[in-house]
Each structure stands twice: as structure tokens, then as C-alpha cells.
């Protein structure tokens, strides 16, 4: 009896080992995913990467004029953490399916709210959020299909697909300044005991030319804790807001503190600012 129990245990362990091994085999179209930050927005994609393997791809493995999953296995997914604009259409935060309708002359990228299907199964045009038609471009050989986020700016990027010897993409625009301003407002509400957060807010307002707000935030930062670097920001905020006298006075104080700290980048920065501002009419 003991030998029979031992045999069952050994058989069970063998089956468990086989099951684990079966789940860990290489796949012909391995899964891939990435997240790319654009401004303050995260763009994430999940897709599979089939290989060319010597096959004819466009107009053959991927037929013309038939909706394609833009990869393999489940439909390709794309997710935005904030509202974005694609082809003039507002796309709300969330996850979507990305399909492509290829033809000989152009590809149509389709952003769909239907994310449950395997491949294109279950898709209907009623689920379309936006379509973007583009002309594919010749490219160097790409063995495994790949998506990328290119031409990244604070408020825009291009999402591209490359496979075999063709590549195409579509533009995404984002109201980054609006989102960042809201983030700064939230930051300020939490900044009562954080001079660095007030300083960050001041730098943001300087970058958007909201100079009076920049002065206000920089003064709060310096009032909490005076450092050569937040004094430098305050001096630049004064100058941007048209107060040359206070700008020079504050820069001289920042210069003195940075010299004592022997921090040469700010010594150089404040020296140059003072010379530039004092010579300005």
C-alpha cells in the first residue's frame, strides 16, 4: 500500500512539473508592453510581436482591406492616463483596443472601445472612437513587429508601428499645460510645510509666463527656508514680472550664498543674471 501511495505522489508531482513547464514555453508571438510618459500623461501599450520568418507580410499574411489586430493573439491594447486628442477627437482616460485596416495605399488606425475580443472577434464599427488614415513609409527591415512612441514633446507624440519593411504612425496631442497647472494647484495646497514645493510651483509658473504667480510662490518658498537656489528663482521671477530692482537685489543675495556654499553653477548663473539685468535699459 505504501508503495502505491508513493507512486501516486510521484505521478502527481510529475504532472505538476509538466504543467509548469508547459506554461513556460517560448511563444511564436511573444507578449510585449511598455509605458511612456509624455508631459504628465502615461501612454501604455500591450501587444504581441509576431516575426516575419521569411513570409510575405503586407497584402498576404496581413490581407489588404481586412481589419487586423495590429499584432497577434488578443487585440492590441492602448491606455491613456489623461484625456488626449487624436485626429481632432477627444479620447478620455482609459484602455482601448487598437486595430489597423491596411490597404495598398494607406493604413487606417482604429481606436475602439471594444477591448474584450480575441483578435478582431466581436468588433463592430459602432465601437469606434476615432479613425486615422496615413500613408505607410518604407523602412529598414524589422523582423519582429514593434510599437514605439516617437517625436516626444511635452504636449505631443507619435505612436508608430514598424514591421517588415513598412512603418506608419499617428499623432497624439495632449493639453499638458492645463493638466500641469491643475497639478501645481494641488501641489500648492500641500505645500504649507514644504518650501521646495513652493519653489517647484514658482518654476512652473515662470515656464508658462504666469509671472505674478511665480513671484508669489517663490516668496513663500524663501519665507519658509532661504536657500541660494530658491532665491535665484525668486530673482528670476521678479525680473520676469518687471521688477528689476528687486531682481538684482535678490540675485546678489543668492550669489553671496552660493559663493559661501562654493556651488559654482549658481555662482555663474547669478553673476550672469546680475550683469545682464544691470546692463538692461
Which residues have CB under 8 Å from 172's CB, separation 6+?
Answer: 38, 43, 84, 85, 86, 156, 157, 158, 159
Each residue's pLDDT, cut to its tens digit, for the chain (281 residues) gives 444 444 444 545 544 444 544 467 888 899 999 999 999 999 999 999 999 999 999 999 999 999 999 999 999 999 999 999 999 999 999 999 999 999 999 999 999 999 998 889 999 999 999 999 999 999 999 999 999 999 999 999 999 999 999 999 999 999 988 888 887 777 777 666 678 888 988 998 998 899 999 999 999 999 989 999 999 999 999 999 999 999 999 999 999 999 999 999 999 999 999 999 999 87
Phi, psi of 145 (to 5 degrees): -50, 140
- Report the distance separating Cα 165 and Cα 22, nearest Å: 34
- Report the distance separating Cα 201 and Cα 18, nearest Å: 57
Give the C-alpha distances (Å, rounded to integers) separating 228 from 223, 239, 241. 13, 17, 20
This prediction has a pTM of 0.72
Domain ranges of the chain: 27-173, 176-279
Give the HSE-up count for residue 99: Cα atoms under 13 Å, Cβ half-sphere: 28
Record: fold of 176-279? 1.25.40
Amino acid at each position: 500500500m505504501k508503495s502505491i501511495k508513493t507512486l501516486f505522489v510521484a505521478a502527481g508531482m510529475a504532472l505538476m512539473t509538466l504543467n509548469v513547464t508547459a506554461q513556460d514555453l517560448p511563444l511564436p508571438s511573444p507578449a510585449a508592453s511598455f509605458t511612456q510618459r509624455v508631459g504628465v500623461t502615461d501612454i501604455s501599450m500591450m501587444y504581441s510581436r509576431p516575426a516575419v520568418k521569411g513570409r510575405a507580410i503586407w497584402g498576404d499574411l496581413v490581407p489588404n482591406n481586412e481589419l487586423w489586430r495590429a499584432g497577434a493573439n488578443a487585440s492590441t491594447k492602448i491606455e491613456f492616463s489623461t484625456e488626449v486628442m487624436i485626429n481632432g477627437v477627444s479620447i478620455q482616460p482609459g484602455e482601448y483596443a487598437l486595430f489597423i485596416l491596411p490597404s495598398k495605399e494607406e493604413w487606417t488606425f482604429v481606436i475602439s472601445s471594444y477591448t474584450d475580443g480575441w483578435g478582431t472577434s466581436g468588433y463592430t464599427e459602432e465601437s469606434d472612437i476615432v479613425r486615422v488614415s496615413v500613408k505607410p513609409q518604407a523602412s529598414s527591415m524589422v523582423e519582429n513587429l514593434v510599437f514605439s512612441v516617437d517625436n516626444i514633446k511635452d504636449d505631443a507624440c507619435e505612436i508608430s508601428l514598424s514591421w517588415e519593411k513598412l512603418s506608419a504612425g499617428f499623432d497624439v496631442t495632449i493639453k499638458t499645460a492645463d493638466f500641469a497647472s491643475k497639478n501645481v494647484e494641488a501641489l500648492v495646497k500641500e505645500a504649507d510645510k514644504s518650501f521646495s514645493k513652493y519653489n517647484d510651483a514658482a518654476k512652473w509658473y515662470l515656464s508658462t509666463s504666469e509671472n505674478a504667480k511665480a513671484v508669489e510662490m517663490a516668496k513663500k518658498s524663501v519665507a519658509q527656508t532661504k536657500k541660494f537656489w530658491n532665491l535665484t528663482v525668486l530673482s528670476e521671477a521678479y525680473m520676469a514680472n518687471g521688477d528689476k530692482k528687486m531682481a538684482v537685489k535678490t540675485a546678489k543675495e543668492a550669489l553671496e550664498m552660493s559663493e559661501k556654499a562654493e556651488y559654482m553653477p549658481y555662482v555663474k548663473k547669478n553673476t550672469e543674471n546680475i550683469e545682464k539685468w544691470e546692463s538692461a535699459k
